[in-house]
Amino acid sequence: MPGPHDTFVRHTFDHPENAAAELRAVLPEHVVSQVDWPSLRVESSSVVDSDLRETESDLLFSARLRGGHPLLLYVLLEHQSSVDRWMALRMLRYVVRLLERWRQHHLDSTTLPLIIPLVMYHGPDGAWTAPRRVEDLFEFPGLAREQWRALVPRFEYLLDDLTAKREEALKARPGPPMARLAWLVLRYGRSEELARRLPEWVALFAQVQAGPEGDRHLAVLIQYLLLMGDQAAHTAAGQVLNLVVGGQRTEELMRSYGEELIEKGRQEGLARGVTRGRAEDILRILTARGVHLDEQARQRILTCTDVATLDRWFDKSLNASTLVDVLDTLEH
């Protein structure tokens, strides 16, 4: 079940114009200048195989370069509350799996498409500190390190660390109002600063509301703020909404989403109970079969909220003799 960050980011950036704004802000200039941006589109979820879809937070885009060369842009939208040291390894696995899947459908091709991996991060614990290169995860002998580094995979992902960006810089990024407001909300959504900053974004809220699908975008924004913000942020969101759509509409939306969030909380509580029970069943089976489980593996299983993934792990655990039989790689 996707969380509130996943839902909000996917709603925002599966629109090509918003996705283009994010990609233009992060990709190297020589790439930006060569992409045929009107050709950018979101690939269907069927492009990414089931083993990669443990969350609903990743987006895959395709585009063409100006010379007609196909380009795949894989965007992993990272919403963990802490920095993931192993992100480079995870992203390498994603890219390899995407390339393998692409090869299955292009058997006559003698080359591979370009895939550019990008992580968007907005955790509350400060700037991103994990290695961005796979080679930085290896342990090398003290002497001749560069010679050893030449023997291991070389891979690097791009990073959009919103926590390192100032408000003025995010406001100044080119792009639709919804994209700029999303960056700001993601940047400050889990901080005490949110309530103070929201009134400064009234103009952006008004631009979102006045644009295409404005009412729908505004509703998603308010829902996210009610989910993530504290009481001060709720009050500030109501005041901003009142300035944009008027008192009566604000009261209707705030009451409607308040009731909806209560019901959603109840449903999510039930869902958590189901997934937690399934995860504990997997742990019991593996323990009974004598499979060693370190703490990292235990937490990965216990914190997984995707029912399909848990079902797959459960089926594999019935005949497992090692942990690798169940979890292909320990990504987190």
Q: Is there a contact between 43 and 26 (Cβ–Cβ < 8 Å)?
A: no
Judge if 27 and 158 occupy the same domain: yes
In the chain, the number of structural domains is 2
Judge if 45 and 159 occupy the same domain: yes
Judge if 132 and 263 occupy the same domain: no
Residue 18 three-state SS: helix
210 located within any domain: no
Judge if 280 and 154 occupy the same domain: no
265 located within any domain: yes
- Upper half-sphere CA count for residue 305 (Cβ side, 13 Å): 13
pLDDT in tens, 259-269: 555 445 445 55
CB 313: neighbour CB atoms within 10 A? 23
211 located within any domain: no
Confidence bin at 44 (pLDDT 50/70/90): low
Judge if 131 and 6 occupy the same domain: yes
> Pick the residue with more confidence: 193 or 295?
193
Mean pLDDT, residues 67-79: 74
Kindly report the backbone phi and psi dihedral angles of residue 117, in degrees, each rounded to the nearest multiple of 5, phi listed first: -85, 140
**Does the pLDDT of residue 136 top 70, yes or no?**
yes
Judge if 17 and 153 occupy the same domain: yes
pLDDT in tens, 303-323: 887 777 888 888 888 888 888
pLDDT for position 249: 76
Q: Whole-model pTM? A: 0.73
82 located within any domain: yes
193 located within any domain: no
Judge if 3 and 122 occupy the same domain: yes
Structure-token match 């690939």, residue found: 43
Instruction: Give the per-residue SS3 of 103-139.
Output: HHCCCCCCCCCEEEEEEEECCCCCCCCCCCEHHHHCC
Q: Tell me which residue range forms the domain holding 19.
A: 1-138+149-164
Judge if 153 and 277 occupy the same domain: no
203 located within any domain: no
286 located within any domain: yes
pLDDT for position 46: 46
Judge if 24 and 160 occupy the same domain: yes
Kindly report the backbone phi and psi dihedral angles of residue 36, in degrees, each rounded to the nearest multiple of 5, phi listed first: -85, 90
63 located within any domain: yes
In what helix (H) or strand (E) does residue 226 lie, and over which residues does it extend?
helix 214-228
